[in-house]
Amino acid sequence: MPGAVPDTFLTRTRFVRVLVILSLLLAAAIIGSALVGSEPISLRHAVFGGAADNLDRLILLRIRLPRVLLAVLVGGALAAAGTTLQALLRNPLADPHMLGVSGGAGVGAAVMLMLAGSGTVASVLAVLAGAFAGALLAMAVVYRLGSVHGRLQPYMFLLAGVVTNAFAGALIMTLNAVADFFQAQGILFWLLGTLQTESYGLVAASAVYLLVGVLWLMRHTRAFNVLTLGEEGASQLGIDVSRTRRSAFVVSSLLVGASVSVSGMIGFVGLIVPHVTRLLIGPDYRLLLPAAVLTGAIFLLLADTVARGAFGDTEIPVGVVTALCGGPFFIYLLRREGGRGVE
């Protein structure tokens, strides 16, 4: 458009450019993170060295890479869920962990773990289904409690989320106390989150969920844009609000459920990432959503690298790292945004 102010709206060129740049950054982060660990490895030897007794390659492929890829996928999924929830609730303070959705998923996963055990394909599916159902239930509860006369009240839903989250935490503690075999997983796994894995099956399954979820959400990104204007405004611009909302609810529950069932409850990714991404590239959901997936992947990967590399041989849970970043960030956002948002 000749004469139009540049960068005042999303063009195909900008869309591609931003996503390519973020993808390159992610690739660099993946390589960098894979080299960090208690055992120093040489990338050159791991890739080009002989197959026999190649310890570097073994460490890279068996230990580091699955964990790095899981961080990428979980980070992307949590960021996508947070970004979506923020459109749905019209509030930049929404985050799946903060709203108790991760907690709900944690309870659901823990219950299924008690009933179905672990180790078999069926039990993995059962845990995932439990996490999905728990996330969906928590989402419904928070949405219900947070609305007064059908209108979302920002403080109400934040408080409802905090309570749901605390309640879910208590339920997990209780389950942990009554079921001794559950201790095999360790309660810290659920409460603080860890990306420790050596299973490419887990990585592949997570990739499928992320891909399906994000592609599903992408179809609604135009509707999300308009939904930030409120339900009435969106409806008058031709959006089927209840259908969009239902999709957003279900898909973000699926993403959170999948993330929690593979990595426990990792908080604040869905809060920090959409905000920072929005600052960098603007609020248009068509670009914001895929960009937040990439930024979320980079963020969680860096957080996990810090978690396993910053304190020598002692590893701290990745959820601790994200919470240490996320807590102050939330306060900052609350002070800045709390007075605005939904009326």
Among 61, 179, 218, 302, binds other proteins (CB under 8 A): 218
Q: Where are the alpha helices (DSSP H) in the chain?
A: 12-35, 43-48, 55-58, 65-89, 101-116, 121-146, 154-178, 187-192, 200-218, 221-227, 231-236, 241-263, 269-281, 285-309, 318-337
Among 27, 211, 237, 310, binds other proteins (CB under 8 A): 237
25 or 218, CB closer to other proteins? 218
Convert residues 272-301 into a mask of x (bound to other proteins by CB under 8 A) and - (unbound).
Answer: ------x---xxx-x---------------
User: Could you tell me the smallest distance in angstroms from the CB atom of residue 78 to other proteins?
Assistant: 20
Residue in 333, 197, 314, 229 with CA at minimum distance from that of residue 272 = 333
Among 240, 327, 328, 332, binds other proteins (CB under 8 A): 240
**Per the structure block, which two tokens stand in for 167?**
């309640």
* CA–CA distances in Å: residue 314 to residues 142, 178, 211: 37, 30, 33
Instruction: Give the phi and the psi of residue 102 in degrees, each rounded to 5.
Output: -65, -40
In this structure, is the dihedral angle defined by the CA atoms of residues 163, 182, 194 and 320, taken in order, positive or negative?
Answer: positive
Residue type, 187: I
Determine the interface stretch with other proteins among 41-49, 222-230, 252-260, 299-307 (rule: CB under 8 A): 222-230
Residue in 254, 263, 252, 253 with CA at minimum distance from that of residue 202 = 263
Q: Are 284 and 112 in contact (CB under 8 A)?
A: no
Q: Is 35 exposed, middle or buried (0-12, 13-18, 19+ CB in 10 A)?
A: middle
Q: Is 19 in the site for other proteins (CB under 8 A)?
A: no
Convert residues 136-175 into a mask of x (bound to other proteins by CB under 8 A) and - (unbound).
Answer: ----------------------------------------
Give the position of tokens 């959820």: 319
Determine the interface stretch with other proteins among 113-121, 122-130, 230-238, 253-261 (rule: CB under 8 A): 230-238
Total residues contacting other proteins by CB under 8 A comes to: 39
Convert residues 86-105 into a mask of x (bound to other proteins by CB under 8 A) and - (unbound).
Answer: ----xxx-------------
Q: Report d(CA 276, CA 161) in Å as an integer.
A: 22
42 or 236, CB closer to other proteins? 236
Q: Say whether 5 sits in a helix, a strand or coil.
A: coil
Determine the interface stretch with other proteins among 1-9, 117-125, 126-134, 143-151 (rule: CB under 8 A): 1-9
Q: Report d(CA 279, CA 273) in Å as an integer.
A: 10
15 or 329, CB closer to other proteins? 15
- 315 CA to centre of own chain: 21
User: Could you tell me the smallest distance in angstroms from the CB atom of residue 335 to other proteins?
Assistant: 16
Q: Report d(CA 342, CA 229) in Å as an integer.
A: 10
User: Could you tell me the smallest distance in angstroms from the CB atom of residue 221 to other proteins?
Assistant: 6
Residue 295 CA neighbour count, 13 Å, CB half: 25
Among 17, 151, 246, 340, binds other proteins (CB under 8 A): 340
Which residues in this chain contact other proteins in the complex, by CB under 8 A? 1, 4-5, 7-12, 15, 90-92, 218-219, 221-222, 225-226, 228-230, 232-233, 235-240, 278, 282-284, 286, 340-343
